Amino acid sequence: MSTNKNFTLAVVPGDGIGPEVTTEALKVLDAVAAQHGVTFERTEYDLGAKRWHATGETLPDTELEEIRKHDAILLGAVGDPSVPSGVLERGLLLKLRFTLDHYVNLRPSKIYPSVGSPLANPGEVDFVVVREGTEGPYIGNGGALRVGTPAEIATEVSVNTAYGVERVVRDAFARAQARPRKKLTLVHKNNVLVHAGHLWTRTVDKVKADFPEIAVDYLHVDAATIFLVTDPARFDVIVTDNLFGDILTDLAAAITGGIGLAASGNINPDRTAPSMFEPVHGSAPDIAGQQKADPTAAILSAALLLEHLGLAEAAKAIEDAVTADIEERTGSVRTTAEVGDAIAKRAAG
Amino acid sequence: MSTNKNFTLAVVPGDGIGPEVTTEALKVLDAVAAQHGVTFERTEYDLGAKRWHATGETLPDTELEEIRKHDAILLGAVGDPSVPSGVLERGLLLKLRFTLDHYVNLRPSKIYPSVGSPLANPGEVDFVVVREGTEGPYIGNGGALRVGTPAEIATEVSVNTAYGVERVVRDAFARAQARPRKKLTLVHKNNVLVHAGHLWTRTVDKVKADFPEIAVDYLHVDAATIFLVTDPARFDVIVTDNLFGDILTDLAAAITGGIGLAASGNINPDRTAPSMFEPVHGSAPDIAGQQKADPTAAILSAALLLEHLGLAEAAKAIEDAVTADIEERTGSVRTTAEVGDAIAKRAAG
Ligand SMILES: CC(C)[C@H](C(=O)O)[C@@H](O)C(=O)O
Ligand SMILES: CC(C)[C@H](C(=O)O)[C@@H](O)C(=O)O
């Protein structure tokens, strides 16, 4: 291709293994860029634990507005034991997801035949979780009274709207429509969380009418965890709320060979703000800086980023390179950079 | 023993396979009663779907007060597709748990070597989940506005108190203290649900001082699901909130050979009201009335009931009978009653 389109990327390497795996994701992005006629212009943001210790800032609004001007965001990982739990998660990661209206948190799960699963007989697993990203118990509504006394009370409020539920449900149906098996499973807990649960259930029932080809079923979240270990191949597209999606996607990653391979996109389908791509794994401070982290999840997140930018072929080049690399993994230890180099080389070839 | 102590049991067989498995649990209870010098006087309550269809009642207060007068409650299963989701769960099952102050929802998980696990290498799994039973997102606080319109909003409020958290945390520590490995894992999501999460975390930190022998760690709920499939043997006692406990215990049941074996006790440790024992599984309406259900979970729940009533030897007789029965399962199909007969015979022997 001769038209050399330039995309701007905001890069937030973050904490722990975040910077290492981000380096490899960018390496692989660059490797495919040239032959797909694009360039990526990067701006790095030093947000995370170090910045918070130095300045007390998690994500200043001015910086958020700068980040917003980019075509997409690549994020490594956020969180460090030296920072009180919640400060960076709420003040940085969730602030990005909420402010940039990432209402589709997309998390594909696939078993690579050569990668071990903790399950004895996982079967052919290839599903995607569409996790709502801007509502539910994640919104930070709640509080505490008389903290530290025997009379303390702490609340967390899950807020769910027809507006918020319908848009993510429609997105999930559209994704199911584009997949060969055309199956959608709603996961909630509508026998206990009846108000939110019934809103979700009614919304799925309503939107279903516009997608007559899709086979729809419903599972309580507890039952869904059972199926994820006894028959994960039954799933095609799962749509669920923010908290249940968090739980199910870690479990899904675990049964498909581990959190080292699980990619995600925090997507704003309306494109009113840039979408953000990040591995599902956390900052893993225990192995940070040691070149021990598997950058595959970050690299696959970069592939999701390319797909979102309309560069499906480039995305496919990365996915194929990852598949080929995974198939040849022998169990011999490679550094983070070696894995990145190997995948970059294949993706460029 | 010559002193023939009589215990009163309120029995709620409930829906679906509930009646079938309850019959077997009672059969096994009777089988051990005589030689442990006790009798069980039963009153059956026809609560559940049929009753609701006939009268619109889920659990009238007069009946609740009658049930309250018993020494313990044995419950089969609750819920039927013909009843709107939540009606029986909230109006019957959760009403019992909440009104009778069952703040310790005890759910042991153990791998029987002869029972298949979906995990390739489960290891030696033997842990117990202490699920909080009277607070959290289960309390039914929340509501909906403008239902059925595009402006609908639905909330669910999780309420957590120092009072409620400390008492269940103390119970969990005491259980860890009584076990050989002396390990306690708190599971929550304190990096997102910061108010509730910090209350739980601070409470565990505080109570820890009274149990210096216990090794304590913390896992986010998403990470806990990963460990449950990659290294379940790491767990000894897990303490967690009502919703996370619901999710984790179904997953725990699945990896230890299935929901057909998972027993539970809804315990009021202060004995201000009777405790209630029930299998973790649901009413499974698809196989109801066909003698296909495995009554083992209900039978093991009866063993928990005996233990709670101070009849540790009788409880052990049931547990040993179940273990022996499980070890000889050949995969040949037995009816619900046949399994109950076999276990009752062993337990009496
Ligand atoms: C770090 C944390 C706030 C985050 C979440 O709960 O969403 C993570 O677990 C994830 O799944 O991306
Ligand atoms: C039936 C339902 C209300 C119940 C719960 O969510 O507690 C069940 O799943 C359980 O685990 O006992």
- In chain B, % helix, strand, coil (3-state, to 5) comes to 45, 25, 30
Residue A112 annotated to the active site: no
Active site annotation includes A250: yes
* Ligand with the closest atom to the CA of A136: 1
What does the pLDDT read at residue B115?
Answer: 87
Q: What angle is formed at CA A237 by the lines to CA A233 and CA A242, rounded to 5 degrees? A: 115
Check residue B1 and give its pLDDT.
45
Instruction: Give residue A252 CA to ligand 2 midpoint distance, Å.
Output: 22
**The pLDDT of residue A1:** 45
Nearest 5°: CA angle at B250, between B166 and A122? 140
On the question of pLDDT at B296 being above 80, the answer is yes
| B146 three-state secondary structure | coil
Q: Are A110 and A346 in contact (CB under 8 A)?
A: no
From the number of C-beta atoms within 10 Å of its C-beta (0-12, 13-18, 19+), residue A1 rates as exposed
Res A72: pLDDT: 98
Residue whose entry in the numeric block shows the structure tokens 């309120």:
B10
Integer angstrom CA distances of residue A15 from A20, A57, A285, A338, B130: 10, 14, 8, 21, 33
Cα A324 to Cα A29, A123, A279, A335, B152: the distances in Å are 17, 20, 20, 18, 48
User: The dihedral of CA B219, B234, B114, B128: what is its sign?
Assistant: negative
More confident residue, B258 or B64: B64
Strand partners, B158: A156
Mind telling me how many Å the CA of A171 is from chain B's nearest CA? 17
* pLDDT at residue B3, as a whole number: 60
pLDDT band at B2 (very low <50, low <70, confident <90, very high): very low
Atom number of ligand 1 nearest to Cα A94: 3
C-beta B80 within 6 A of ligand 2: no
**DSSP designation for B152:** -
CB A318 within 8 A of CB A343: yes
Exposed / middle / buried, residue A2 (Cβ in 10 Å: 0-12, 13-18, 19+): exposed
Distance of CA A27 to CAs A40, A323, A336, A339, Å? 11, 17, 12, 11
Q: How far is A144 from chain B (nearest CA, A)?
A: 6
How far, in Å, CA of A138 to CA of B196, rounded?
12
Confidence (pLDDT) at A2: 45
B9: alpha, beta or left? (left if phi > 0; alpha if psi -120 to 50)? beta
Main-chain phi, psi angles of B268, to 5 degrees: -105, 95
> Which domains are delineated in chain A?
1-106+259-348 (3.40.718.10), 117-127+161-256 (3.40.50.2300)
Residues B31-55: tens digit of each pLDDT: 999 889 999 999 999 999 999 999 9
pLDDT-wise least confident of A104-118, B58-72, B159-173, B239-253? A104-118
Distance of CA B39 to the CA centre of its chain: 24
CA of B94 to the centre of ligand 1 (A): 30
| DSSP line for A274-316 | -EEEEESS---GGGTTTT-S-THHHHHHHHHHHHHTT-HHHHH
User: Could you give phi then psi for residue B216, rounded to 5 degrees?
Assistant: -115, 135
- CA–CA dist A130, A168 (Å, integer): 8
A265 lines ligand 1 (CB under 6 A): no
d(CA B234, CA B213): 17
Largest Cα–Cα separation, chain B: 69
Q: Are B29 and B302 in contact (CB under 8 A)?
A: yes
Ligand 1 pocket, residue B191 CB under 6 Å: yes
Q: How far apart are CA B70 and CA B42, in angstroms?
A: 9
What whole-number distance in Å separates Cα of residue B137 and Cα of residue B141? 8
DSSP H or E stretch at residue B98: helix B94-99
Q: Is 90 exceeded by the pLDDT of residue B152? A: yes
Question: Testing the interface with B: which of A226, A242, A286 to mutate, by most B Cβ within 10 A?
Answer: A226
Indicate the residue type of B198. Answer: H
Q: b/e string for B161-199 if b means 16 or more Cβ within 10 A?
A: bbebbbbbbbbbbbbbeeeeebbbbbbbbbbbbbbbbbb
Across B203-301, the runs of DSSP E, i.e. the strands, are 215-220, 237-240, 263-267, 275-279
Query: Shortest CA distance to B279 belongs to which of B255, B262, B302?
Result: B262
Identify the residue whose tokens are 């007060």. Answer: B65
How confident is the model over B306-340, as pLDDT tens digits? 999 999 999 999 999 999 999 988 878 999 999 99
What CA–CA distance (Å, rounded) separates A186 from A349? Answer: 40
Relative to the alpha carbon of B221, which ligand is closest?
A: 1
Token pair 């259980």 is found at: B175
Tens digit of pLDDT at every position of chain A (349 positions): 445 799 999 999 999 999 999 999 999 999 999 889 999 999 999 999 999 999 999 999 999 999 999 999 999 999 999 999 999 999 999 999 999 999 999 999 999 888 889 999 999 999 999 999 999 999 999 999 999 999 999 999 999 999 999 999 999 999 999 999 999 999 999 999 999 999 999 999 999 999 999 999 999 999 999 999 999 999 999 999 999 999 999 999 999 988 899 999 999 999 999 999 999 999 999 999 999 999 999 999 999 999 999 999 999 999 999 999 999 888 789 999 999 999 999 999 8
Determine whether B55 is exposed, middle or buried from the number of CB atoms within 10 Å of its CB (0-12, 13-18, 19+).
exposed
Round the average pLDDT of chain B to a whole number and report it. Answer: 96
Catalytic residue list contains A189: yes
Q: Is the CB of A222 under 6 A from ligand 2?
A: yes
In the 8-state DSSP scheme, what is residue A119? Answer: B
Distance from C-alpha of A301 to C-alpha of A303, rounded to nearest angstrom: 5
| Residues in CB range of B34: below 8 A, 6 or more apart | B348
Q: Is the CB of A252 under 6 A from ligand 1?
A: no
Mean pLDDT, range B253-269, rounded to an integer: 95
Q: Whole-angstrom Cα distance, residue A33 to residue B95? A: 60
Q: How far apart are CA A77 and CA B225, in angstroms?
A: 20
Out of A135, A246, A248, A249, mutate this one to test ligand 1's pocket (max ligand atoms within 8 Å of CB): namely A246
For A172-208, give one letter per residue: b (16+ CB within 10 A) or e. bbbbbeeeeebbbbbbbbbbbbbbbbbbbbbbbeebb
CB contacts, 8 Å: B253 with chain A: 226
Percent of chain B with pLDDT over 90: 94
Nearest CA in chain A to B197: A154
Q: Hey, CA dihedral for B205, B207, B210, B216, is it positive or negative?
A: negative
Classify the C-alpha dihedral B185-B189-B190-B193 as positive or negative: negative
Which residue has a Cα nearest atom 9 of ligand 2? B246
